Every structure is written in structure tokens, then in C-alpha cells.
Structure 1
Amino acid sequence: MKKNLVQFFNQPRFLRHVLNWYGPYRGAGVKVKHLADDYSSATVEMPLRWYNRNYVGTHFGGSLYSMVDPFHMLLVMNQLGPEYIVWDKEAKIEFISPGRGTVIAHFEVSPEHLDDIKAKTEDGQKYLPEFEVEVRAEDGTLVAKAIKTLYVRKKPQKAKS
């Protein structure tokens, strides 16, 4: 029974629902529309509402950033598995044009990127891979670009007794 429960909680579908009910995301109007079964990609969107617009009537920058904040870490962490430590290390966001209407961000972590991370952490060293994500309006207009730097390290092997 315990194994089935753990498997249930580790399903992408369950995580997507948890994120959609997560208070800060509900408060900003962020919705996780897609989370791939293998954690290789995710799509998040946020419509413009009275509670997430700024003083001039466009998307609040903090909400734009919050919609992209955890996803590369979650994708990498779940693809690499429990033998790795994965944390957000650094972030930068550049606001390109005013966000009006619904904005969308799509995240991908390719097998090649994972292979690179594994190769650079195999000896126990930390690695700081960077991931870029674009936030676009429904018509394709670029609203913002974010660069996320992760901290990744393979966990030390426990001594066998």
C-alpha cells in the first residue's frame, strides 16, 4: 500500500494538480496546463486579471516571474531522480514588452541536457546549468525572457556496512 501511495504522489498529473492549487499560483492566476509524464516538459499560462495586473494595467512583473520560477528545477529534479541534489541557484528576468491577455511559458529539458548534467556531476562536483524560458502572449509576442541557473550535484554514496 505504501509503495502505491508513493507512486501516486510522484505522478506528474498529481504534481500538476498540487501546483494548480498552490496558494501563490492561485493568487496570481497561474495555471499549469501540461506536465509531461516523463517530466521532460511543462506549459504554464496566466490570463490577465484584475488581481495580477500592475498600476498601468499590464501583467505584474512578480507574477510573470513566479510563473516561471520552479519549473526547470522540478523537471531536472524529477528526471535525474533521488540520487541528485537540485536547487534553484540564480535567476534573471528581462521584461521585453507589456503583457496583455494570457501569457504562456513552455519549458523543456532535453535528454542531451540531462546527459551533459550527468557527465559534469559524475565525480561529485557541482554543476550550474542554465536554462532559458520565454514568456509569450497568445499572439506570439515576446513578453519576457528568464534565465534560471540550477545547482546540481550527485549525492555522495552512503557507506555500506
Structure 2
Amino acid sequence: MRVSENRLKWIMRLYPPMLFQRIWVVKFEPGFRGVTVRVKKSFLNKNYNKSIFGGTIFSAADPFYPVLFHQIFSNKGYRIIVWLKACDIRYIKPARTTLSFTIQLSDNDITEAENNLNRIGKNVKAYPIEMIDENGILCASLLSEVYMRNLDYVDNKQTAAV
């Protein structure tokens, strides 16, 4: 689904699993080159220790690299599947206040992915996310492994062998 940055921001803000966990998309950068997200602490996502549930923190990070890459490559005309293949999360400090994080994709990230999609039909790479609380303290660090598949890729080596 190709949409504008503003429309996708509102779709994700109002999507119930994110809304009820108080995961709020602040903004998407032009061309889907980045996103800023806030996780507001509330009674809906507070655990026994009065900090934000680890599951909420993980849920906040889960969709954004795949969404960014999907939008970028869909807008370039690719038919593509993108999903989070794996994620390594480290809870460093309890999240006792609202968390935020920003993801930025560089030209190099996009070029590397596009080269792999055209050359071998897929791209798999891990990208970092750091979640910071209102006091500037790092509370969680994630490494998100993103899988991308170019649905229009044809392996010329296999077709030549037939």
C-alpha cells in the first residue's frame, strides 16, 4: 500500500494495537527516509514495577524499518515484501517515563538494499534502534533484522540452465 507520509502517520497512530499501547508516530520524514516515534507511559502499558512493559517497547520498534523500506521501494515501482525477520532487544534501564526514538535511513542504506534486491533478489540486514527516556537515559537498545524480497526478481542463472 503506497500512501503519503501524513496519511500513514495517522493510520499508524489510530491502529488499535499501537493506540492502546500509547505508541505514537510523531512524524515520517519526507520520502519515508526516517520516522520519530514516542511511547507514552500510561496505565495501559505500565507493569508491576511502574515502568513501561517490555512488550510495549518491543512493539513500538517492530514495524518501522519494514514500513520505511516498503514505502521507499514501492514508490520506486518495486513489488516487494518486507518484514522483521529477527530482533535482539536489550533492556538497559526501566522505562519510567515516556520513551522516544528516531530512525534515519541513509542514502547508503537504500542503495545497498536496492543493489541486493536487483542482484540477488533479496536483502537481509540488521539496523539499530535506541530508545531514550525524557531524561535522556538510554532504556532499550534493539537490533532489528529486516528481510526484503523483490517479487519481480528473476534469477538469470536458473533460467539459462533450463
Give your verdict on TM over 0.5.
yes
Contact 1:124/1:153 (CA < 8 Å) preserved in 2?
no
Unaligned residue ranges in structure 2 (runs of 5+):
155-162
1:155 is displaced (CA, Å) by 2.1
Q: Which amino acid in 1 is paired with 2:14? A: W
- CA distance in 1: counterparts of 2:110 and 2:153, whole angstroms: 20
1:157 is displaced (CA, Å) by 5.4
Q: TM-score, normalised by structure 1?
A: 0.87
Q: Which amino acid in 2 is paired with 1:65? A: F
- CA distance in 2: counterparts of 1:139 and 1:27, whole angstroms: 24
1:113 is displaced (CA, Å) by 0.5
Aligned pair partner of 2:128 in 129, 132, 137? 132
Match runs of 1:116-127 below 5 Å: 116-127=112-123
Q: Identity rate of aligned residues, in percent?
A: 23
Which residue does the alignment assign to 1:33?
26
- CA distance in 2: counterparts of 1:10 and 1:139, whole angstroms: 34
Which residue does the alignment assign to 1:90?
86
Q: Which amino acid in 2 is paired with 1:91? A: C
Aligned pair count?
151
Match runs of 1:1-161 below 5 Å: 10-81=3-74, 82-156=78-152
Q: TM-score, normalised by structure 2?
A: 0.87
Partner of 2:47, secondary structure, is: coil
- CA distance in 2: counterparts of 1:29 and 1:132, whole angstroms: 22
Q: Which amino acid in 2 is paired with 1:28? A: Q
Partner of 2:68, secondary structure, is: helix
1:94 is displaced (CA, Å) by 0.7
1:83 is displaced (CA, Å) by 3.0
Partner of 1:144, secondary structure, is: strand
Unaligned residue ranges in structure 1 (runs of 5+):
1-5
Which residue does the alignment assign to 1:3?
none
- CA distance in 1: counterparts of 2:119 and 2:81, whole angstroms: 14
1:100 is displaced (CA, Å) by 1.1
Q: Deviations over 1:16-71 (max 9, x none)?
A: 00111010111111110011121001011012111111111011000111111100
Contact 2:46/2:53 (CA < 8 Å) preserved in 1?
yes
1:84 is displaced (CA, Å) by 2.8
- CA distance in 1: counterparts of 2:97 and 2:119, whole angstroms: 47
